[in-house]
Amino acid sequence: MSYRTAFSDVLSRVVAPSAERAGGEGRFPRGSVTALGQAGLLGLTVSAELGGGGLDLTDAAEVVAQVAGACPATAAVLQSHYAAVAVVEAYGSRWLRGEIAAGRHLSSLALAEGVPGGRSAQDQAPRETPSTADRSGGVVALRARKYEVVAAGEADSYVWSSRPLAGQDGLTLWVVPAHASDLFVPARPDGGGPCGSATSTVLADPVLVPADAMLGPDGGGLDIVLRTVLPWVLELEAVVGAAAVHPSVAAAAIGAARRPADSLLVS
């Protein structure tokens, strides 16, 4: 059975019927995410060698566009997941990629800093301290307040940005497991986005991750955002329109391209 056949079944049987609960009651579409994972849609763009679909942005965009027509919350979750998976597929561990391919793992982007509602770090008074990363042996302490994270408290991991370990220039990306101690997400989502998408703040003060949780080279995160994250979020947003998918994901990536390194990624 092709992924399109499986997807069509999940869309009509699970995603569309649950859209009212997500949009009307603000419930995270956990059943839809689980069903999409079981049908191979969460692993759509992971290498076939690891059990994924081995497909690309064009196929992911087709899925997101159709889901957006049925459930904007689920579409927002998929948009952030696919953009995060693009980074994980290029730089993550085989184990993590295999978990995504098996449909057992939902990821999301945690890049936006500053303040919610579209203002940048330069507009704040006083200005917030950007993300930091401090290494002690094999452990890295990440401190940050990430705004407008889709599937906050619901995803299994976040692709996270910080200052580099060495020096002040550039960004470094990490995969942060959602179960890590000292990650705080408000009980009620505070970040806007489609109702039910669990778009909210994620606070780390700090969260400890192993040093090998780094995605790509230290200080190389800006290049990854520009070459990998930005094309994915812009294409996925374009196929559904801003009404269906919260634009902060794209704004975060665009912010990396336009702002100096000391402002990191902003919403």
CA distance 64 to 80: 10
Q: Where are the domains of the chain?
A: 3-106, 109-230+241-263
Give Cα 241 to chain centroid, integer Å: 18
Q: Where are the alpha helices (DSSP H) in the chain?
A: 3-10, 16-25, 30-38, 57-70, 72-91, 94-101, 221-224, 230-240, 248-258
Average of per-residue pLDDT values in the chain: 85
CA distance 165 to 219: 8
User: 243 with 72: CB under 8 angstroms?
Assistant: yes
Confirm whether 3-106 and 109-230+241-263 share one CATH topology: no
CA distance 110 to 108: 7
- Statement: 3-106 belongs to CATH 1.10.540.10: yes
pLDDT score for 250:
53
**Could you give the 3-state DSSP secondary structure of residue 69?**
helix
pLDDT interval class at 114 (50, 70, 90): low
Q: Are strands 107-110 and 157-162 parallel, antiparallel or unpaired?
A: parallel
pLDDT interval class at 226 (50, 70, 90): very high
Is the per-residue pLDDT at 131 higher than 80?
yes
pLDDT score for 236:
93
Peptide bond into 206 cis (omega under 30): yes
pTM over 0.75: yes
**Could you give the 3-state DSSP secondary structure of residue 23?**
helix
pLDDT score for 267:
33
pLDDT interval class at 125 (50, 70, 90): very low
Angle in degrees, 0-180, between the axes of helices 57-70 and 3-10, rounded to the nearest 10: 20
| Least confident piece of the model among 124-128, 182-186, 218-222 | 124-128
pLDDT interval class at 262 (50, 70, 90): very low
pLDDT score for 252:
52
* CA-angle at 209, arms to 204 and 214, nearest 5°: 110
CATH superfamily, region 109-230+241-263: Butyryl-CoA Dehydrogenase, subunit A, domain 2 (2.40.110.10)
